[in-house]
Amino acid sequence: MRMCLCGCVPRMSRRGLIAGALAATAVPAAAAAPADPKLIDDLVVANRILYDQGVVDGFGHISARHDKDPNRYLLSRSMAPALVTAGDIMEFDLDSNPTDSSGRTPYLERFIHGEIYKVRPDVMAIVHSHSPAVLPFADTHTPLKPMNHIAGFLGSGPPVFEIRGTAGDASDMLVRSNNLGRALAKTMGQSQILLMRGHGSVAAAQSVRHVVFRAIYTEVNARTELQAMALGKPVFLNEKEAAAAMKTNDGLVDRPWALWKQRIAAK
Ligand code: MN
């Protein structure tokens, strides 16, 4: 039975409902309805935009929760994001097992995505990157905070995940298991952004377009904050200003998306 994320059931006869429920139990997991091609297209475009905007390079990835099944997500096979096409998008359950790998190799750090989707029903898309201006804030005790209204989603400053707390002091720094992903998601809590000490960051949002916006402006904000610190002590948005600005910007993400999409199409 198809159910939307808010828990409502599409209009259907009682008989249809029962038949649907029976079918849902009988059909094996791998036979779920395919994702909306528009969602796949946004995900492919997002991979290329994030490269064009300097958020990802040969590394980093973006996922989307499956639009037909909230217990699945979509993520490219292990490859450079700028080269991703629709045929590279794989489907995973929330334990990050591929539902049909077809010989494709998944990203080692896919557990970041699965474990956040498990505990954050509001999150529909996730970016993990090593974007360079953000790293100084992950590796020091200097908080990353909103420098202007566009970065209101940073709130009072993202938490920092310290992998040593779970993996000990001799790990390769990668979130390569459900256990590590779970610890990361716990540190992230209800934040939109998480910093990872010695590694990078994570952005979460209600759609692919929103998460691309947040990942890009996290990097921009980090550059601006570093510049401001060279001049003096920055005055950040306070929590109320940040929340109000985030609400406004959440309604405007299609504008920069159109611009970023046009840039990659022209190349
Ligand atoms: Mn990484």
> Residue 233's pLDDT is what?
97
pLDDT at residue 26 greater than cutoff 70: no
Residue 200 CA, ligand 1 centroid: distance in Å: 6
Q: Name, in order, each residue with C-beta under 8 angstroms of 234's C-beta and a sequence gap of 6 or more.
A: 145, 147, 225, 228
Residue 180 CA, ligand 1 centroid: distance in Å: 13
Instruction: Please give the domain boundaries of the chain with CATH numbers for all domains.
Output: 14-19+31-265 (3.40.225.10)
Q: What is the percent of the chain with per-residue pLDDT over 90, rounded to a whole number?
A: 86
Q: What is the mean pLDDT of residues 80-91?
A: 98
Q: What is the mean pLDDT of residues 100-121?
A: 97
Closest CA to 59 of 159, 178, 174, 170: 174
Residue 31 CA, ligand 1 centroid: distance in Å: 31
Question: Which residues are the active-site residues?
Answer: 109
pLDDT at residue 19 greater than cutoff 50: no
Band the pLDDT of 182: cuts 50, 70, 90.
very high
* Sole residue written with tokens 């096979």: 77
Residue-by-residue DSSP string for 30-42: GGSPPPPHHHHHH
Band the pLDDT of 267: cuts 50, 70, 90.
confident
Question: Model-level pTM?
Answer: 0.89
> Residue 31's pLDDT is what?
53
Residue 44 CA, ligand 1 centroid: distance in Å: 19
> Residue 20's pLDDT is what?
42
> Residue 6's pLDDT is what?
42
Residue 7 CA, ligand 1 centroid: distance in Å: 33
Q: Residue 64 pairs with which residues in a beta bridge?
A: 74, 125
